Each structure stands twice: as structure tokens, then as C-alpha cells.
A and B are shown apart, each in its own frame.
Chain A
């Protein structure tokens, strides 16, 4: 759609990327699109660090006893992998990049409600990231990303307090981003953009933001208490000091379970957009999908105890948590069924966004269903703290959230950069990621049921064959992840110009130029239709 606005100055028409090229113009920007790019670059760096740690783990586990890492070194490696991937990649991944970039564009706003707060949250992220790098250089931390007490407070030798400080700091970045999104969605919707017309992407980011704002402070409190016990021997969690170690687990999972939904809800939002755009059809069951996001956010706060079925918490409490955990699967299932139904009578393009969306559905479904198994109490007792759990949450957080991230990258890359990438290579990458992922993590379900505990450096020789399979799969997965980095960067220079709407997709973000001008729209859009008002006929590719 071209909007005639002859009164605008050339400066207002220029794209956000061309609006300045000095370092200062990037580091002091308050443009949500530029801040999204800053986030994208920084989280990619941490994805690389976390990925290197994963590669070391997979290499070291090729043999049950002959290792290049010491036991202590191995413990520090998987702790680093967890801390970096959870807090410095997964949690900010989709919201801080695509959410930041797209929410104002999707609701027809010029920017987020608090542009300077948005920049501040990136700086807080960078400070937290800096402390993490310090921990890494200083020698790491040996508690696991879960920081269980009293191991972390009274026994661990690593830089526990520094690592806790890093996570504490980066939490404020999450809180500020969540706050910004909530206010933006409430106050900055364009004329005619009613709640019922919001894209599902916006709904799921709204739900995610509620969790960010409500749950993250609990993590901050928990980490402060843990550090107080470690530094000043205040008896909070260690029974030898009069504390209660399960109190820590309750507080930690009260945040960390909802944190899983912080990772997966935005990816579900992405997939909803990808499915509708690829099928060129209105999303099936809009209100069911939208309210499922809110239901997940709400019920997600009530299931933390399922991480503690064998911890010694009351067995009757466990029964309640088991029931609620089965309940929280319902809205997730609703989404999967609705995405499938959307494809019925669609006009489906098999381009990379569709393939990534389908990879997401396949992997997320396996992750979700094995989550149901884990919610069954007697089953959890056997597979708790084994590779079964490792496989399950990687299916959700990597197979789900990271695949969603790559799907978003392949769908909105032309909008963000104004360039088209190679679709052929995109399809190959989607296939490699799907195959490599299953190859890596499916054997871990078997390992877990056979009784291989997580966080084991030395393991029984009969498990070796499964570990070798898993490591072989990881090498395919690594190629799948590196490949897009190559062809996407290549497209920055050599890609064909994308035009405003290369996929023929509905949605306000596709009505403006690619890359969008600094203020997003040359003229404030007026919304007259529901979301996913297909068919969109103009600008359609092929």
C-alpha cells in the first residue's frame, strides 16, 4: 500500500537504517527498531557463547570416562550454558528483538510508549551481560543454572554471587521491557485497532509482558536472599543455619516455571503469524488462540510445584500441582489444533517461514506431550532429574522457542533489512534444524527412561551409544544454526530489495516501506478490518 503524503520532508521518508550511521546514532537511539537491532546483535553474541558451551558438553560426553574437562570444569560448563541460554538469550530473544521491532508497527504506533526506558533496558541487559562475561573469565560458577541451596550458598566454590548479580541485573531489563509493552498496547493502538483486531503476536507479547512484570521481581528477591546467606551466613535456606532449603526451590520455580512461558508464548505468537501468512487465510479460532495465551500466563503461575515432586514437599500438594500441570497443557493444545485447522483450505506457500512454523509445531508438540508425561506423578518420580527432563525442556525451549525465533527471522528479515534472502538456503536450514534437533534430543528421552541422571560427567558405559548419537545430531543442528547466519548476512549486501510486502501478508507492518521509515508510517494508519484480512492481493510474490 502506498500512502501519498507529499507534505513530508525527505528526512521523514528515509528508512530507520539510513537515518544515521555514526556509532552515536546507534548507541543513543530511542527508535524501537534500532534498539531491536542492538538486542539482536547482543543476544546473538550470547547465543554463540551458550552454543560453544553446549558443543563442549556434547564433545565431552562422547566418552563415558575419557574426558578433556575435569568434573569441576564440566559442572562449570553446563552451568554457564544454562545461565547464558536462559537469561541472556531465550528470555530476551523474541520479545526484545521482534517484539520490540514489531509491536509498534503492528498496532500502528510511532514507537513504544517509553522510548528512553526501552534504551535503558538494553543498557541494563548489556551491564548484566558484562557481569556474566566477568564470571566466565574469572572461572565460572558450579551450581547449575538453578542455584539450589544449600549447595550454592554454603558449599559451591565458584563465583555464585557474581552470577546471581548478573541474573538480578538482567531481570530489570525484562521488567522494563514488559512494562513498556503493556503500556504501549493499552495506550498507543492506532485508530480502529481494537483489542479484537490485534494480531496474535501482540496478544502473546501482552501475556508474556504480564509474566515478565509479575514473576521477575520474585527471582530478584530469591537471588538477593541467596546471596545474603552466602555472604553473611544469614540462615534462610541452609538448615545448618536454621533455614529451609525447599523455600528456595519454591521461590525459584515460582519465577522459573512462568519463565518457560516467557520463552514459549512469544514463539507461539510468531507461529500464529507465520501460519496465517503462509496459508494466506484468516487464523482459525482467533479468540480461542488469543485467550489461550492469557490462560497459559495465568495458570502458568500455579504449577511451579511440579518441579518438586521428589523434593520432599507434601505429597498432597504434589497431587494438586500434577492436576494443574495437566490443565495448563489444554490452552497449548488449543493453539496446535487451531494452527492445523488454519491450513485447511489454505493457499499454502512452502517458503521458509512455513517450514519453520511446521518445525515449531512438530517439536513443540513432542515437548508438550512429554511434559504431560512428566506431570503424571509416578512417571515423574522415575524420570525426574534425568535426561528425559533435559530432552523435554529442550524440545520446548530450543525446538519451540528457538525455532520460533528463526521462523520470525525468516519472516520479518525482509521487513527489518529491506532485503530478500535465498529461499532455497532457507528451506535447507529449516530442514537441517528440524532433523538435527530430533537427532540430538530424541535419544535423550531414551537415556532418561533408562536412568541416566542429568548433570553427570562420568556415566555408565552402556549409555555411550545414545550419547554418541546425540552428539552426532548436535553437529547437524550446529550447521543448521550457522547456515542462516551466513546467507542472511550475505543478503544484506546482495539480496534483492524486498518491497513493502514480499509475502503478500496481512498486517499493518506490511503496509509500510521495508525497511520502515523512522516514524514507522508516513501517516497514522486507520484500521478498518480484523486481523488476517485475507486475501491480500497487492504486492504478492510469485
Chain B
């Protein structure tokens, strides 16, 4: 935690410790590269001060060897740091397959969390220690950003799109969660707490937080209430794609393209069904934009996933540019 400095923030994950090691070692490198500049400026200002007797003969006005070395050497020295930092960064986008997935919906000015067991919380997030936790995040209005300083992680949360982040907290404790993308009037009040609990405490919390059925079950009810089952259930009279085993599969589209049925595809299919038509089906589905909230989408998604293959064929891909 506080390492050598009194003002160092707590590091609550291995990733956080690695980021700290990276910044400290990089700081040492740039100190070595810059200290000579500051020392020499002061030294020259004293020694070659006007009126001061000093040897001013053979004044150089250029030196290609010096120029080349102070151009190339520092750059090469930074490349190792570049590569390690990029490795840590790419890792943030690759959540382990067996992560506990928690859905996050941000809105002006609060955080809503949906646990797979159906538990819901606002501004507080309870997670177990030592467990890979993946957050699938979206916003209901403007861009927000999910920032937990103790974990050294941050990811913007966008409307109309899913972004994700994962972490594995290794110290039980209560850590600050802050919105770090300016999101309007009460931006600075869009804060919360991340409670990292021991396995036993977490189990107790899950029980105490209660839920009327897990997310997928809630999604199934919604699926029926919204009338989706009228077309998408096997045996329905309307010819609509079955959702059995859909999630993570490659779906052929009208016009010859094909897409992986990921979160983004399913979301778009609900809100803007005529954008990507599954090959061989008529474009008859009405849009549900305005009828389902982001939280409803989370539930419907959980239901679709529950009918998909047990392990997705493809990991959650990069958000599309």
C-alpha cells in the first residue's frame, strides 16, 4: 500500500500493484534522463555567467553523434515500458471465461448494478475477494466513466453500446468508486463504494440482499410479458429465429454478411431490429426502443444467454469502433 511514500494510494489488486511498479520504475528512468539537464543548466549558468572568466574557446555549435545518441537512446529505453504497459492494458480487455459477470447501468447521476442472482444495488457494489469479476457496462444517457482508484482501473460507459472491464480484488475492504467522465450537473456526486468481501461475507450478503429469481428468470418473465415469446418460442405461428443456442453463435445475415451474436448484436436486434436481418427471415419485428429500459435489456440478455451454449463460442469481443 503506502510503499515508501506517505501519499500513495492503496493497491487492492495484483493489477494495481503492477501499475504502481510500472510508474515507479518509469519515474526512475526519466529521472536519470532529466537530472543531467537540470544539473548542467545550473552548472553552466554559474560557470559561464557573463563576466565570469572561463574557457570559452572551441565553442561547439553542433555534434551529430550527440544529437543521434540523445534522440535514439532514451526512445529505445522507453520501449520496454511501452510494451509492458500495453500488455497490462490489453489484459484489461480479456476477462477470464469463468468471471462473475455483473451488469452495470449508469445514468445521471447514479450507478446501478445487477448481479447474476438477481440482486440489485445502487451506488454500492459487493464483490467477493479473489474472484475474477467482469463488468458489462452501458449508460442510459450521456457518457460516464467507471473508476476505482484502488484497483487502478477505469473504463468509459457509453450509451447505446457495451464496454467491459474486469478485476480481481485481493484485499477485502471498502473502496471508492467515482465517475470520471464529466456527465453534467452532479457529476461529482456520482460516486459509490465497492465492497470487497470475504467468500463467507459475500455469501451472507447474497442471501441477505435477496432476489425474486435470478436475472435469467426475471428475463424470461419479461420475455413473455413483452410478447417476444409469441414469435420466438418454438411452436409459435410466426416464423422468427429461435433463440436456442443463439448466444455466441455466428449468425448469417441477409446480404451475405455474418455476425457473432454477442451482447451488442442482441441489443441492436431488440432496439433496431431492421438493421441486421437474420438470413431467411422476414423483417417483421417491431422495435422495442423506448419500451424496454437498460435494466430490462440486462434481464432479456441474461435470458437469451441462459438459452445459449453453456460456454460462449467466442469471448466477449472488442467493442466495435
A in complex with B: yes
Given contacts A239-B159, A245-B158, A381-B154, contact A319 B89 (CB under 8 A): yes
By a CB distance below 8 angstroms, the chain A residues around B19 are: 378-379, 381-382
Which residues of B, 149-196, contact A by the 8 Å Cβ criterion?
149-150, 152-156, 158-161, 163, 176, 178-189
CB distance from B49 to the nearest CB of A (A): 5
Question: A385 contacts B22, CB within 8 Å?
Answer: no
By a CB distance below 8 angstroms, the chain B residues around A375 are: 82
Q: Which of B64-72, B126-134, B197-205, B295-303 contacts A (4 or more CB under 8 A)?
A: B64-72
Question: A239 contacts B318, CB within 8 Å?
Answer: no
Question: Interface residues of B toward A: which range?
Answer: 35 or more
Which residues of B, 38-93, contact A by the 8 Å Cβ criterion?
38, 40-41, 44-45, 48-50, 54-63, 66-67, 70-71, 74-75, 78-79, 81-82, 84-86, 88-90, 92-93
Residue of B nearest to A455 (CB): B182
Q: How many A residues, CB 8 Å from partner?
A: 90
Q: Mark A25-62, 1 if CB is under 8 A from B, else 0.
A: 00000000000000000000000000000000000000
Question: B155 contacts A369, CB within 8 Å?
Answer: no
Q: Which of B48, B71, B108, B319 contacts A346 (CB 8 A)?
A: B48
Q: Which of A346, A449, A456 contacts B44 (CB 8 A)?
A: A346
CB distance from A252 to the nearest CB of B (A): 13
By a CB distance below 8 angstroms, the chain B residues around A322 are: 82, 85-86, 89
Given contacts A310-B154, A449-B9, A459-B188, contact A348 B44 (CB under 8 A): yes
Question: A343 contacts B142, CB within 8 Å?
Answer: no
Given contacts A319-B86, A334-B70, contact A285 B62 (CB under 8 A): yes
Q: Kindly state whether residue A256 has any CB partner on chain B within 8 Å.
A: no
Question: B44 contacts A337, CB within 8 Å?
Answer: no
Q: Which of B66, B86, B143, B187 contacts A341 (CB 8 A)?
A: B66
CA distance A278 to B105 in the complex (A): 59
Q: Kindly state whether residue B237 has any CB partner on chain A within 8 Å.
A: no
Given contacts A246-B321, A310-B156, contact A286 B178 (CB under 8 A): no
By a CB distance below 8 angstroms, the chain A residues around B152 are: 378, 381-382
Q: Kindly state whether residue B208 has any CB partner on chain A within 8 Å.
A: no
Q: Kindly state whether residue B147 has any CB partner on chain A within 8 Å.
A: yes
Q: Which of A89-97, A111-119, A147-155 contacts B (4 or more CB under 8 A)?
A: A147-155
CB distance from A148 to the nearest CB of B (A): 6
By a CB distance below 8 angstroms, the chain A residues around B27 are: 373
Question: A326 contacts B78, CB within 8 Å?
Answer: yes
CA distance A421 to B251 in the complex (A): 76
Question: B71 contacts A327, CB within 8 Å?
Answer: no
Q: Kindly state whether residue B26 has any CB partner on chain A within 8 Å.
A: yes
By a CB distance below 8 angstroms, the chain A residues around B79 are: 326
Q: Which of B34, B50, B93, B145 contacts A369 (CB 8 A)?
A: B34
By a CB distance below 8 angstroms, the chain A residues around B186 are: 71
Q: Mark A265-286, 1 if CB is under 8 A from B, else 0.
A: 0000000000000011111111
Question: B188 contacts A457, CB within 8 Å?
Answer: yes
**Inter-chain residue pair count (beta carbon < 8 A):** 262
Question: A72 contacts B185, CB within 8 Å?
Answer: yes
CB distance from A256 to the nearest CB of B (A): 15
By a CB distance below 8 angstroms, the chain A residues around B44 are: 340, 343-344, 346, 348
CA distance A348 to B158 in the complex (A): 55
Residue of B nearest to A451 (CB): B149
Which residues of A, 197-216, contact B by the 8 Å Cβ criterion?
none
CA distance A146 to B9 in the complex (A): 29
Q: Kindly state whether residue A446 has any CB partner on chain B within 8 Å.
A: yes
CA distance A148 to B7 in the complex (A): 32
By a CB distance below 8 angstroms, the chain B residues around A435 are: none
Most chain B beta-carbon contacts within 10 A, residue among A151, A322, A365, A373: A151
Q: Kindly state whether residue B23 has any CB partner on chain A within 8 Å.
A: yes
By a CB distance below 8 angstroms, the chain A residues around B37 are: 336-337, 340, 361, 365
Question: A348 contacts B187, CB within 8 Å?
Answer: no
Given contacts A150-B142, A376-B85, A384-B154, contact A458 B182 (CB under 8 A): no
Q: Kindly state whether residue A315 has any CB partner on chain B within 8 Å.
A: yes
CA distance A375 to B82 in the complex (A): 8
By a CB distance below 8 angstroms, the chain B residues around A282 are: 59, 61
Known: A285-B61, A316-B90, A378-B89. 9 other contacts (CB 8 A): A75-B187, A144-B182, A312-B319, A336-B37, A337-B37, A345-B55, A348-B49, A378-B92, A384-B154
Q: Can you pick out 27 interface pairs between chain A and chain B where the beta carbons lie within 8 Å of each other?
A: A148-B143, A239-B160, A280-B50, A281-B61, A285-B63, A309-B89, A312-B319, A314-B318, A319-B90, A322-B85, A330-B71, A333-B70, A336-B37, A343-B40, A344-B59, A347-B50, A372-B30, A373-B23, A376-B22, A377-B85, A382-B19, A385-B154, A449-B9, A450-B149, A454-B180, A455-B188, A457-B188
